[in-house]
Structure 1
Amino acid sequence: MATPEQKAAAQAKKRRPSRGASHPAVVIGSAVFTFLLFLAVGGGLVAWYAEGQYTAPGPLTAEKTVVIPRGQGTRDVAELLEREGVVRNWMLFVGSQQIARRGEQLQAGEYEFPARASIADVLDTIIDGRVVQHQITIPEGLTSQQIVERLNASDLLTGTARMPQEGTLLPETYRITRGMKRDDVLARMSAEQQKLVRELWEKRDPSLPLKSPQEMVVLASIVEEETGKPDERPRVAAVFINRLNRKMRLQSDPTIIYGIAGGKGGLGRAITRTDITTPTPYNTYAIDGLPPTPISNPGKEALAAVANPARSKDLFFVADGTGGHAFAETLDQHNRNVARWREIEASQKAATPPAPGGGAGTGANPAVPATSN
């Protein structure tokens, strides 16, 4: 039977750690394991929280537009979004961009974020470059100078616009984005015009007395200025084509105006007898054939009308008081139409003469007698 001293020694031996357990390597290993376990648990909780925040609805209570300037770093963008109330925490946004989207580049531009947009939604929008699309409308018949002035007036566009040659731009409604360069818009308008002109020239009436696509554009610019009614353009084009075939002067009022005002687009007054009889390179009452350049930028319908004009024998037209024109094949018929138009003017007690194009191209201007030359 063990003595009390033997029992005490045995119990002390049990309480004493083994030499292996107290070895420094074992102690360090145990500490590292505990730390890694802590990190794993903590990291899992952080990842769970971050994932929830990444897809959770954001703080915006209503749709909001934010402009991200060029040259901004990820943190700059994140802080901007936090200030604008798009995201709650810029650091969480940066972390999400680095982890979820692998640091993909944030693109400058104007962005529209819906209410409650999540960080995931915001990142997708900016990284994919889903910028806000605006529209700018260029009406038919403006000169290049007038078009440049319209672009300069837009605060959405940037840069100094060059002055394009007359008739080289296609009037249309174009999509633009904030910060786009004005020259880029002009380049697109020019490319669209060249494409359309090529297509129409290839499909033109082969009997046209026009030698080049440029001549088609020149005549289309006159047709554009003569009438604003789409259904009249092919017939107006036919009048000028018929006159060219007969070697008759075009006698178009808008060419008088362009010869005096140039790219400004208007005189600010009525055409006078002196204007009509004073030669300029553009005044088709004084010159034979077409002017040297277009007098405006014609639209699709005017270009198409010249490429394939109506089949008619008309040589004259004059305003008819309804916004349209009365057409005639003979000078006598045309003179009667002019007299009727003057009666309409008198009955309406018009204080101003007809607008440019209202008595065009064929001696129809009331300021001069009709002729057949």
Structure 2
Amino acid sequence: MKRLFFRVFALALAGVVALLGLFVWFAYTPVGLRQSPLDFTVEPGSGMRQVARQLTDAGIDTWPFALVMLARVTRQANGIKAGSYEVEAGVTPLLLLDKLTRGDTTQAELALIEGWSFRQFRAALDRHPDLRHDSAGLSDSEVLARIGADATHPEGLFFPDTYLFARRSSDVDLLRRAHRQQQRILQREWAQRAEGLPYQTAYEALVLASIVEKETGRAADRPLIASVFVNRLRGGMLLQTDPTVIYGIGPAFDGDLRKRDLVTDTPYNTYTRPGLPPTPIAMPGVAALRAVLNPPSTEYLYFVARGDGSSAFSRTLAEHNRAVARYIRKQQP
């Protein structure tokens, strides 16, 4: 009887050892991949069993049950992070689980350019193949509500930058990040503003910064252009800046600004209305914000594009008219 017991015990022990050996072999043996490298996505809210199924569906040749058991034994089953991942030939189940629990996701990127309008921003989001387009079909006001923004108009409220994100991230999350970043930067720069500026709120500074951003892409000219607008606001002069008129025309603008456009009144026509327009007209970057919050002291009241990306600045209307004749009408004084 004892001999039978020991025989059964030995067989059971041998079975356990064999099973343990098989389990160790599984943990350290590279999985098969349909292709290398292989991209796959772990969906948000997935449990370990669902994750194992998603991996096999994506082309990772592994034993789902064994992978689930391995995750439980190593106490990683509850630490799997959603996102997009990339693996290459040679990855083992242990390395795969380590990657999933570290959240070592592959990242995509999207560049939001200084001077873009919110309409251009949304178009770039809609085109990006690695984003989940949760904002599709939402109005601008619905987007603002979705990201928790306390505003009624989206223009200028999003910081232009290059954003990295895990593939299949929500475009709403990216919008939320860009909005929070703009708020942080705006408040930081507003706190460091010069005294005596002709605007009372950070939002008004944002409006003027958006105009400066649209007027030039030349770093050296931004502060001088800001000084022109600050001087005009202080003197009660009309800003008379074409980008605001173009923004007021909207999508109907055909690229040719005509005289009739300058005299047709809209809330954004700074030729017909004094002061700042009601909202920003684009996404300004940090340089434009700093230019309007700490402008240099000048006597300039006018500027005109030279045609090479730079601007000519004038103190009087007579000087300005000569500059216009030289650079716009191509006439010599």
Counterpart position of 1:63: 37
Query: Which shows bigger deviation, 317-326 or 125-134?
Result: 125-134
- The answer as to whether partners of 1:110 and 1:178 remain within 8 angstroms in 2 is yes
- Which amino acid is 2:69 matched to? G
Counterpart position of 1:227: 216
Cα distance between partner residues in 2 of 1:204 and 1:126: 46
- TM-score, normalised to structure 2, is 0.87
Counterpart position of 1:342: 328
Query: Which shows bigger deviation, 181-190 or 199-208?
Result: 181-190
| 1:114-193 aligned within 5 A | 114-155=88-129, 156-160=131-135, 161-163=138-140, 164=144, 165=153, 166-193=155-182
Cα distance between partner residues in 2 of 1:85 and 1:173: 32
Cα distance between partner residues in 1 of 2:45 and 2:196: 57
Residue 84 and residue 260 in structure 1: after superposition, are their counterparts in 2 closer, same or farther (change >3 A)? closer
Residue 149 and residue 83 in structure 1: after superposition, are their counterparts in 2 closer, same or farther (change >3 A)? closer
SS at match of 1:135: strand
SS at match of 2:233: helix
Matched, 1:50 2:19: no
Counterpart position of 1:259: 248
SS at match of 2:328: helix
Matched, 1:90 2:76: no
Cα distance between partner residues in 2 of 1:112 and 1:85: 12
Q: Which of 209, 231, 248 in structure 2 is aligned with 1:242? A: 231
- Which amino acid is 2:4 matched to? A
Q: Which of 225, 249, 254 in structure 2 is aligned with 1:268? A: 254
Q: Which of 48, 57, 60 in structure 2 is aligned with 1:74? A: 48
Cα drift, residue 162 of structure 1 = 5.0
Q: Which of 195, 199, 220 in structure 2 is aligned with 1:210? A: 199
- The answer as to whether partners of 1:169 and 1:190 remain within 8 angstroms in 2 is yes
Query: Which shows bigger deviation, 147-156 or 86-95?
Result: 86-95
- Which amino acid is 1:232 matched to? D
SS at match of 2:40: strand
| 1:31-42 aligned within 5 A | 31-42=4-15
Cα distance between partner residues in 1 of 2:180 and 2:45: 30
Query: Which shows bigger deviation, 194-203 or 86-95?
Result: 86-95
- The answer as to whether partners of 2:190 and 2:293 remain within 8 angstroms in 1 is yes
What is the CA RMSD across the aligned residues, in angstroms?
A: 2.3
Cα distance between partner residues in 2 of 1:103 and 1:320: 64
Cα distance between partner residues in 1 of 2:44 and 2:272: 55
Cα distance between partner residues in 2 of 1:273 and 1:292: 22
Cα distance between partner residues in 2 of 1:83 and 1:290: 56
* The structure with more radius of gyration: 1
Residue 210 and residue 76 in structure 1: after superposition, are their counterparts in 2 closer, same or farther (change >3 A)? closer
- TM-score, normalised to structure 1, is 0.78
Cα drift, residue 72 of structure 1 = 4.8
Cα distance between partner residues in 2 of 1:134 and 1:259: 34
Superposition misfits of 4+ residues, deviation over 4 angstroms: 70-73
SS at match of 1:281: coil
Cα distance between partner residues in 2 of 1:116 and 1:227: 52
- The answer as to whether partners of 2:48 and 2:78 remain within 8 angstroms in 1 is no
Residue 281 and residue 71 in structure 1: after superposition, are their counterparts in 2 closer, same or farther (change >3 A)? closer
